[in-house]
Amino acid sequence: MTPVLSVWLDICRIVAALFVFVGHAVGMGLASEAMSLQWHRSADDAVTAFFVISGLVIAHTSAQRPDQGWRAYALARMSRVYSVAIPAVLFVLALDHLGMQIDASKYTPDWQYPRLWLYLPLHWAFLGETWLGVFQPFTAAPYWSLTYEVWYYALFGALYHLRGLRRCWVAALIFLIMGPRIWLLLPIWWLGVGLHGRLAVLTCAKPVAWLMMAAFPLAYALFLSSGAQHQLDLASKALYAWLDGVLPFRFYGGSSVHALSDYPVALMFAMFLVGCANSGLGLSPRVRACVKWGAGYTFTFYLLHFSVIVFCLALGWSQLGGWAMSGVLLGTMVLSWLHAQVGEQRRVQYRWLIDRLLPGRMSHS
């Protein structure tokens, strides 16, 4: 991965997180309808971009440390995930209880909240999109994609770091636990893995790379305006109905409700990343540092923003204009920064603890 592509991935993380925020704010009625246009789907399509980036980055970090072994891989992934997931779920739980004191109608207080002993372990085991059904932590709806990614991490780790029959059995078990909802978007995440393996041969001249980058927003706009996305959404519903009829249990798409229309978006975004890798369009060291700093908080921002929107709705806010929404965005950013001080900015401490709990730790004399 070139330094140029690395900074573009950080830019994409920031832009995608903002797209998700605006998409949810519009879709839930917090933002003005004047902002609607296609923003109601921007959240779904931005998560598709996140999946491609995730697969690419995981493949890159593993290739950088080919001899790290399964334990080091698991430790790295678990510390990254749990340093955000544990405090995020607790933060959302507290914010939801505060919001329920203001307007309980925006919440479902009779569902998960009285059964924390059951749901907290399930959320932190990332079982909310598997065979057990579709459930996310309280109002943290974006948590669904983290559940998908965790199982993709596990499958990749088994295939990459294990050998022989053990590799086959562990990978098969992980794949079985995933269930059909998570299977549906596995090709999108794996597209990022495959892209990493081919970046060295997918080279082109800089003008061609710039055209590829410029073509992405144009192709995406055409995909929306032509009705192709809508037709694939209908095909997705037909696919889910077919699965519901042939499987021996009730099936519905859960959070992967637009699987078939996600595939073209993923392919378009992958071509954009190929253009980025060959563009030579770097940034100054100071700007790169700022971009990297901002991208470092997108994970936390992504997991918290939906609950903040619900809380704003509980306050009675709706159809906010641009300036008011800018204030909500700024407030969510500040909360994300504060949260990160006990979350992902303390990843080293989480890693230390997980290292002592994870089997196979080498003893030191």
Q: What is the DSSP string of 200-265?
A: TT----HHHHHHHHHHHHHHHHHHHHTSHHHHHHHHHHHHHHHHHHHSSS----TT-TTHHHHHHH
Model pLDDT, residue 255: 80
Model pLDDT, residue 39: 54
Give 199's DSSP letter: T
User: Helical H runs in 28-142?
Assistant: 39-64, 69-102, 116-124
C-alpha to C-alpha distance for 115 and 209, rounded to whole angstroms: 53
Contact partners, residue 200, CB within 8 Å, separation at least 6? none
Higher pLDDT, 273 or 249: 273
Is the pLDDT at 365 greater than 80, yes or no? Answer: no
pLDDT band, very low/low/confident/very high, at 94 (cuts 50, 70, 90): very high
The residue-averaged pLDDT of 321-339 equals 94
**Residue 155 burial (C-beta neighbours within 10 Å; 0-12, 13-18, 19+):** buried
Q: List the beta bridge partners of residue 320.
A: 31
C-alpha to C-alpha distance for 291 and 359, rounded to whole angstroms: 37
For helices 143-161 and 69-102, the axis angle rounded to 10 degrees is: 170
- Cα torsion angle, 202, 204, 209, 212, sign: negative
The residue-averaged pLDDT of 219-248 equals 89
pLDDT band, very low/low/confident/very high, at 363 (cuts 50, 70, 90): very low
Model pLDDT, residue 276: 94
pLDDT in tens, 297-324: 999 999 999 999 999 999 999 988 889 9
Model pLDDT, residue 257: 81
The residue-averaged pLDDT of 19-30 equals 90
Model pLDDT, residue 40: 56
C-alpha to C-alpha distance for 151 and 158, rounded to whole angstroms: 11
| CB < 8 Å & 24+ apart, contacts of 202-208 | 202/274, 202/277, 202/278, 203/278, 204/274, 204/275, 204/278, 205/278, 206/278, 206/279, 206/280, 208/275, 208/278
pLDDT in tens, 108-143: 888 899 999 999 999 999 999 998 888 999 999 999
> Which of 169-173, 281-285, 309-313 has the least mean pLDDT?
281-285
C-alpha to C-alpha distance for 304 and 302, rounded to whole angstroms: 6
Higher pLDDT, 208 or 32: 208
- The domain limits of the chain are 3-224+267-356
Q: List the beta bridge partners of residue 31.
A: 320
Torsion of CA 254, 260, 261, 263, to 10 degrees: 110
Is the pLDDT at 364 greater than 50, yes or no? Answer: no
Model pLDDT, residue 188: 96
The three-class DSSP label of residue 319 is: coil
pLDDT in tens, 34-78: 766 555 577 888 999 999 999 999 999 988 887 778 889 999 999
Higher pLDDT, 16 or 109: 16
